[in-house]
Amino acid sequence: MSNAQWETISNQAVAAAGVVYFLALLAHLVQWSALRKVPVGSVARRATGAVGAAARRAIAGESPQGSAVAVLEREPADVSRRVAMFARLALLLTGLAVGLHAVALLGRGMAADPNRVPWGNMYEFTLSGTFVVALLYLVFYRRLGLSWLGPLVTGFVVTLLMVAVVWLYEPVAPLTEALNSTWLVIHVVAAIIATGAFTLGGFTSALYLLKARAGDRPAGYLARLPELPVLDRVSYRLHAFGFPVWTFAVLITGPIWAHQAWSSYWNWDPKEVWAFITWVVYAAYLHARTTAGWKGRNAAWLALLGTATLWFNFIGINYFSTTSQHSYAAPEVGTSVVVER
Amino acid sequence: MTTTVEPEAPEAPEPRPRDLSVRELARWIWRQLTSMRTALLLLLLTALAAVPGSLIPQEGVDSLKTSRWQDQHPTLTPIYDRLGLFDVYSSAWFSAIYLLLMISLVGCIVPRLGVYWRALRAAPPSAPRRLDRLPAHASYTSEQSVEEVLDRARGVLRGRRYRLADGDGAVSAEKGHLREAGNLVFHLALLVVLAGFGLGSLYGYKGGAIIVVGDGFSNTLTSYDDLAPGRLFDPDVMEPFTFTVDDFSAQWLYTGPRAGMAQKFEAPLTYRTEPGAQEEHYDLRVNHPLSIGGTDIFLIGHGYAPVITVTDGDGNVAASGPRPFLPTDGRTFRSFGVVKAANASPTQIGLQGELYPTYAFDHDHGPYSTFGEALDPFISMTVWTGDLGLSNGTPQSVYALDTAQMTMLKKDDGAPFRVDLRPGESVELPDGLGKVSFDGLQPWVRVQISRQPGIHLALGGVIAALLGLLGSLFIRPRRLWVRARTGEGGTLVEVGGLDRTEGGDPADEVAAIVAALRGEPAPDRPGDPQREEPEA
């Protein structure tokens, strides 16, 4: 296949993935709106926990025999069936969309001459970042029981994909010379994976804060989220996964590559500074979770602060600062340097 | 520190010292400084303090941009300068924050080293009286005798890498000490990283030089165009290598979205690691530095040096050879440069002007360059006569002309006399001053040469930190007890487990051990992830 064909495939796959993510979002919305008919109070004020757990499993699309009976006692059968069906449909659609998303990335890499990893500009970074968010959601779906995160993840990914296509799109182009390195693969993969995990952790922390704010009588979506300690723990696990990966990306591979390309392993370049700030904030988050007076709410705020610095660094700093050697927003040409004496 | 629950002081504020001795005061300050809350605040303060350096141009990062910014903001500049905002990362206040953070870290870690050392040597604690009160427990009745059960338990637990101790009718087991070790290693490694980083910035140096293809470079202070030495840098440690730039090539893109960009920069070098050493060759490329001893040589830029010959009024060559011109536009390589003919007579001659690698002209822009490659090079320079100012002893840039005591040559109509030449052309200067010829174009490369002692220390430190971090996040410290006693229907076996990390759940482990004790295959891990949630 020619490069132009690959590029077309990539563009079409992005569009298709966007549509399927959107359908998945719709399926999630149907799923959650169907649940409105299930009395929420039974979840929030439950004493035994049986109905709450059953409703939660129904949301997750997993209806073990025993709990399905509990649901049936309280709800019309068709509601619980609809909830389970749409939950499964949404998960299926998300999986399909992630597959299409992968095709889009592959096409992007194959369209370049010579073939390369698709991480050369903001459009490609955004495409990869959202892909990893969706992929990690699927990977951790069962392990951490993330079904309740579905609407947020699909909504977020579809929004960012639109932003990427509308504002960030750039035709496939060869890499600038400094980017042409194996460290591009290692450094950027690690950075993007950590970004995905931190983003999911940020969602969880935001939901934690919203639910904590709603107090004892949360309504609607919030009422059906896992209990606060579970949200806190899921958030911690995502961050505990992301933090070492981020350390690897920012403090090991980044400096090694910087040393090779720019002759100095740490330059206090704005992108480096913000990666460092993000690292420190997440380090503070991990500490805060074990410190009296900082547990829970304050730690969650720190996680949100971390997500904010992360995404500001990912997108914002490219437009904000022109000194950054990482500034991919405006393609930098050649390696010329103006010297003054 | 990351997940282990701190033996934190209770919420009540420390009693404030009143009429205390200096020693007690110092102790109180030390306790405040090394408390977890202070560490947390210092961490956040470090993050906050790093922000201004990314918003205000930094002297050490981009000095050209910094001086431009300073020119544009005459009122803010003195204030910012006093606050050290143009050099945040070596300013006193930034250093103070991270040094306090490091002191706080040492204060946290050193006492814990002792605690850890004692815990490491202590035997696993004896079994609590009621194992069924532990978060995870199980019991069953066995046909085997108490001794047989305990023997088997020892075997099973040892196989699962537990440290064991025997109690009264019970076996105590413990593992996962490496978690705290990882935690300690992580924090100590951060000190190592800081030490490595500090060594590099104190004893290292970084310098740049422009070298015309065909010319050589020898690693001495005077060969550098610019040099940024560390505070304790000693020029004697500079490696005595020399090298010659044999060639330079780049691949220009003529089509596609990045047309005008160049790739595959390559500068073959011939080098000697010291005078008299064997000659060696290296293709210097972006991302592929040449390392000689502890010094690295990087290719970071390129440009053009027009070969210009100035013949004076007497017919003698007053200046010749390639003159590096500095690009003022990174895309089209429109460049600026000067020629100084100090020996010209009757008067010294200076030329200054621009080079256009691919010349174009229109009435809106005047002369300009359309492409970075030298497809149709053209120079356009003005001519100055008078005193070049070289004899008064003040050092001068070779890339700029001091025109204070010079006058520009003008044509009869008052317009500047311009030397507009393509390669191979020459022009006679008016008034019998001489002749200027443009003989050709030579590429130059800009190399950055740096020596960063401590770089491997920093790298080793950060790798150790990562390993420690992984240990401290993912190793689960566990305690398990197996008790057996003779009951009514045989031997009653109880197993209890404790996971001292938050959210840790030893239920699987207990179930697996029970299964192993009974000689069954290990049970499957239940799939419900929310199983850990304490029900109501």
Q: Along the 536 residues of chain B, how does pLDDT read in single tens digits? A: 444 444 444 444 555 555 668 888 888 888 877 788 888 889 999 999 988 888 888 877 777 778 888 888 888 888 888 888 888 888 889 989 999 999 988 888 888 898 888 888 888 888 888 888 888 888 888 888 888 888 888 888 888 888 888 887 888 998 888 888 998 999 999 999 999 998 988 898 888 889 999 998 988 888 888 888 888 888 888 888 999 999 998 888 887 777 778 888 889 999 998 888 899 999 998 888 899 888 999 888 888 999 999 988 888 888 888 999 988 887 888 889 999 888 888 888 889 999 999 888 888 888 888 888 888 899 999 999 888 887 777 777 788 888 888 888 888 888 888 888 889 998 888 888 888 999 999 999 988 898 888 889 999 999 999 999 999 888 888 888 888 888 777 888 888 888 877 666 778 888 888 888 887 655 544 444 333 333 32
User: Phi/psi at B281 (nearest 5 deg)?
Assistant: -120, 150
Within 8 A by CB and 6+ apart from B479, the residues are B124, B125, B172, B173, B174, B497, B498, B500
Domain extent at residue A297: 176-341
Task: Give the pLDDT confidence score for residue A42 in this predicted structure.
Answer: 45
Query: From CA B508, how far away is CA B529, in angstroms rounded?
Result: 12
Q: Mark whether A186 and A334 lie in a shared domain.
A: yes
Q: How far, CA to CA in Å, does A62 sit from each of A67, A86, B121, B204?
A: 10, 12, 48, 61
Q: Assess if residue A114 is contained within a domain.
A: yes
Tokens of B171: 């076996």
Which residue in the set A284, A290, A333 is minimally distant from B6, CB to CB?
A290
Q: Mark whether A125 and A214 lie in a shared domain.
A: no
From the CA of A252, how many Å to the nearest CA of chain B?
7
Q: Are B5 and B60 a contacting pair, CB within 8 Å?
A: no
Q: Assess if residue A293 is contained within a domain.
A: yes
Closest CA to A208 of A191, A195, A227: A227
Q: Inter-chain contact A336–B50, Cβ cutoff 8 Å?
A: no
Give me the number of domains chain A comprises: 2
Task: Give the pLDDT confidence score for residue B532 in this predicted structure.
Answer: 37
Cβ contacts (< 8 Å) between A268 and chain B: which residues? 53, 58, 60-61, 88-89
Q: Are A91 and A144 a contacting pair, CB within 8 Å?
A: no
Tokens of B437: 């010829």
The DSSP element (H or E) to which B367 belongs, if any, is strand B366-369
Q: Is B227 on the interface with A (CB under 8 A)?
A: no
Which residue in the set B46, B301, B302 is minimally distant from A280, CB to CB?
B46
Specify the pTM: 0.81
Tokens of A144: 């951490």
Q: Mark whether A182 and A55 lie in a shared domain.
A: no
What is the value of ipTM here, to two decimals? 0.80
Domain boundary among A113, A130, A147: A130
Q: Inter-chain contact A181–B287, Cβ cutoff 8 Å?
A: yes
Within 8 A by CB and 6+ apart from B291, the residues are B297
Q: Which of A272, A273, A301, A302 to mutate: most B Cβ within 10 Å?
A: A273
Task: Give the pLDDT confidence score for residue A278 in this predicted structure.
Answer: 94
Peptide bond between residue B235 and the one before it cis (omega within 30 degrees of 0) = no
Q: Identify the bridge partners of residue B479 per DSSP, sorted by sequence position.
A: B174, B498
Closest CA to B240 of B209, B261, B219: B219
Residue B246 CA from chain centroid, whole number: 31
- How many beta carbons lie within 10 A of that of residue A205, not counting itself? 28
Domain boundary among A76, A111, A130: A130
Query: From CA A186, how far away is CA A256, in angstroms rounded?
Result: 11
CA dihedral B468, B472, B476, B477 (to 10 degrees): 90
Sign (positive or negative) of CA dihedral A49, A52, A55, A60: negative
Task: Give the pLDDT confidence score for residue A332 in this predicted structure.
Answer: 34
Query: From CA A313, how far away is CA A309, in angstroms rounded?
Result: 6
Q: Read off the DSSP letter of residue A248.
A: I
Q: Assess if residue A68 is contained within a domain.
A: yes
Task: Give the pLDDT confidence score for residue A239 in this predicted structure.
Answer: 93
For helices A77-111 and A50-60, the axis angle rounded to 10 degrees is 40
Q: Inter-chain contact B330–A252, Cβ cutoff 8 Å?
A: no
Domain boundary among A73, A101, A130: A130
Q: Mark whether A65 and A180 lie in a shared domain.
A: no
Q: pLDDT tens digits, chain A, 341 residues: what are they?
A: 678 888 888 889 999 999 999 999 999 888 888 777 665 544 433 333 333 444 444 444 444 444 444 444 455 667 778 888 888 999 999 999 999 999 999 888 888 777 777 777 788 888 988 999 999 999 988 888 888 888 999 999 999 999 888 888 877 777 777 777 788 789 888 998 999 999 999 999 999 999 888 877 766 778 778 888 888 888 998 999 999 999 999 999 989 888 888 778 888 888 888 999 999 999 999 988 877 777 788 899 999 999 999 988 877 766 665 555 554 433 333 332 222 22
Q: Mark whether A65 and A182 lie in a shared domain.
A: no
Q: Mark whether A191 and A339 lie in a shared domain.
A: yes
Q: Name the B residues in 101-160 with CB < 8 Å from any A CB.
A: none
Q: Are B116 and B180 a contacting pair, CB within 8 Å?
A: yes
User: Phi/psi at A256 (nearest 5 deg)?
Assistant: -60, -45
CA dihedral B187, B191, B193, B197 (to 10 degrees): 150
Task: Give the pLDDT confidence score for residue B300 in this predicted structure.
Answer: 83
Cβ contacts (< 8 Å) between A48 and chain B: which residues? 536
Q: Mark whether A85 and A210 lie in a shared domain.
A: no
Tokens of A231: 């949200």
Task: Give the pLDDT confidence score for residue B18 in this predicted structure.
Answer: 57
What is A169-204 written as a DSSP string?
Answer: -----PPPGGG-SHHHHHHHHHHHHHHHHHHHHHHH
Within 8 A by CB and 6+ apart from A56, the residues are A43, A224, A226, B530
Q: Mark whether A120 and A201 lie in a shared domain.
A: no
Q: Mark whether A121 and A214 lie in a shared domain.
A: no
Q: Are B334 and B356 a contacting pair, CB within 8 Å?
A: yes
Nearest C-alpha in B relative to A317: B54
From the CA of A28, how many Å to the nearest CA of chain B?
21
Closest CA to A335 of B122, B24, B303: B303
Q: Assess if residue A157 is contained within a domain.
A: no
Q: Inter-chain contact A290–B2, Cβ cutoff 8 Å?
A: yes
Q: Mark whether A110 and A193 lie in a shared domain.
A: no
Angle at CA B345, nearest 5°, toward B343 and B351? 65
Q: Are B464 and B196 a contacting pair, CB within 8 Å?
A: no
Q: Assess if residue A154 is contained within a domain.
A: no
The DSSP element (H or E) to which B202 belongs, if any, is helix B178-203
- Look-up of token digits 């053209």: B378
Tokens of B361: 């002209």
Q: Amino acid identity of A241?
A: F
Query: From CA B377, how far away is CA B367, in angstroms rounded?
Result: 12
Q: Mark whether A228 and A298 lie in a shared domain.
A: yes
Query: From CA B381, how far away is CA B371, in angstroms rounded?
Result: 20
Q: Mark whether A109 and A35 lie in a shared domain.
A: yes
